[in-house]
């Protein structure tokens, strides 16, 4: 038998897309309506409550859930978080991360990164997370159609499609704003396409050279302060970064270097739950020793504050570890 534990999970609610599907699959539309009204009361009380049967309030609920998910997924992508099992029963309408048993943080940058043992086809790979979120929201929308138009649910399809079709553009806008912050770009640029290309080319450098995602952003902050050595140490020898850095410096030329570096360090963590350290903590806890877990937790409470004595918590896992690393629902 495996050792176990009793945990208490606290969240804004535990209502998931799958909760709506449970009642909709049984055509229990009164319960779907009751659930939707409760969700509005709990999470979105600003939505008109004058009439519990007002169809527009259910469109508004879908809009709010969609916007929360766009913000959540953008934040996942910006820090390299891979949920691992994004089925509809694991998507909370509150916009909080939930049921992430087989999650992991990406180390070497790879859009195709997958760690979950139950995701052999890569459905929930890092790069696919925005599209999967949109797919889940589509399933939520399906359950709301009879509430939006009781007489002709199919007639409500164009209304929900407008919301669903806006999900990816809204996500991309939030993600780009986050990436601009991570690059230390102080003022919104009139050249949005130029900023997009700057971000795209930066990520391509990380991908081509298998650079640690977290450290790359953090050491770029050091480069803003004039310290290029730590950044260059992450890449093969040569002038690989020269052209890109020249473009980045041109974009930030009107900014204070120290302010730029400080701002970048405030959004680019130095410490993440590195997978080998999580496994180390799990193994020790299984033997009754919670010290590694407690130490890791203490470090992660202040992920943006670099401390020289904690360098092991910022060190990537050995390549041989990551090559065979898998996560499980019990992780």
Identify the bridge partners of residue 97 per DSSP, sorted by sequence position: 91
pLDDT of residue 51: 60
- The pLDDT score that the predictor gives to residue 150 is 92
Q: What percent of the chain has pLDDT over 90?
A: 89
44, 54, 56, 89: the catalytic one is: 89
pTM confidence score? 0.95
Q: Residue 293 and residue 47: Cα distance in Å, rounded?
A: 42
How many other CB atoms are found less than 10 A from the CB of residue 233?
10
CB 274 within 8 A of CB 80: no
* Residue count of the chain: 331
pLDDT of residue 91: 98
The pLDDT, as a whole number, for residue 48 is: 73
pLDDT over 80 at 4, yes or no? no
Q: What integer pLDDT is reported at residue 207 of this predicted model?
A: 98
> Averaged over 47-57, what is the pLDDT?
75
pLDDT class for 113, splitting at 50, 70, 90? very high
The predicted structure's pLDDT at residue 237? 84
Name the phi and psi angles at 107, rounded to 5.
-105, -90
| pLDDT of 331 above 60 | no
CB 200 within 8 A of CB 183: no
193: annotated active-site residue? no
Report residue 52's pLDDT band, with 50, 70 and 90 as the boundaries: low
Helix axes 192-208 and 167-182, enclosed angle (nearest 10) = 70
pLDDT at site 238: 78
The CA distance from 299 to 47, in Å, is 40
Mean pLDDT of 158-173: 98
Residue 53: per-residue pLDDT: 66
Q: What is the mean pLDDT of the chain?
A: 95
Give the residue from 80, 10, 5 showing the smallest Cα distance to 269. Answer: 80
Between 48 and 60, where is the model more confident? 60
pLDDT given at position 330: 65
| Band of pLDDT at residue 243, cut at 50, 70 and 90 | very high
Q: Does residue 307 carry a pLDDT above 80?
A: yes
Q: Which residue has the higher pLDDT, 1 or 135?
A: 135
């Amino acid at each position: 038998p495996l050792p176990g534990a009793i945990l208490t999970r606290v969240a804004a609610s535990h209502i998931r897309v799958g909760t709506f599907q449970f009642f909709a699959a049984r055509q229990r539309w009164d319960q779907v309506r009751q659930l939707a009204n409760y969700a509005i009361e709990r999470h979105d009380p600003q939505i008109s409550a004058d009439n519990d049967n007002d169809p527009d309030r259910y469109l508004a609920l879908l809009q709010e859930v969609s916007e929360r998910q766009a913000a959540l997924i953008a934040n996942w992508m910006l820090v390299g978080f891979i949920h691992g099992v994004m089925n509809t029963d694991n998507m909370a309408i509150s916009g909080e991360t939930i049921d992430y048993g087989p999650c992991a943080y990406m180390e070497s940058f790879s859009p195709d990164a997958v760690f979950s043992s139950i995701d052999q086809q890569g459905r929930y790979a890092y790069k696919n997370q925005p599209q999967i979120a949109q797919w889940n929201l589509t399933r939520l929308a399906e359950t709301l159609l009879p509430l939006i138009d009781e007489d002709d649910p199919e007639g409500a399809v164009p209304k929900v499609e407008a919301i669903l079709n806006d999900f990816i553009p809204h996500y991309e806008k939030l993600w780009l704003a986050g990436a601009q912050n991570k690059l230390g770009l102080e003022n919104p640029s009139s050249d949005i396409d130029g900023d997009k290309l700057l971000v795209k080319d930066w990520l391509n450098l990380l991908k081509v050279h298998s650079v640690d995602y977290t450290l790359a952003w953090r050491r770029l902050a050091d480069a803003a302060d004039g310290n290029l050595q730590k950044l260059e140490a992450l890449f093969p020898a040569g002038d690989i970064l020269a052209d890109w850095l020249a473009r980045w410096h041109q974009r930030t030329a009107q900014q204070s270097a120290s302010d730029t570096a400080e701002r970048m360090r405030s959004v680019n963590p130095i410490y993440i739950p590195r997978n080998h350290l999580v496994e180390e903590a799990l193994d020790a806890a299984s033997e009754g020793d919670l010290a590694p877990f407690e130490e890791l937790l203490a470090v992660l409470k202040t992920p943006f504050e670099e401390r020289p004595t904690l360098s092991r918590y910022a060190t990537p896992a050995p390549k041989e570890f990551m090559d065979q690393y898998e996560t499980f629902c019990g992780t």
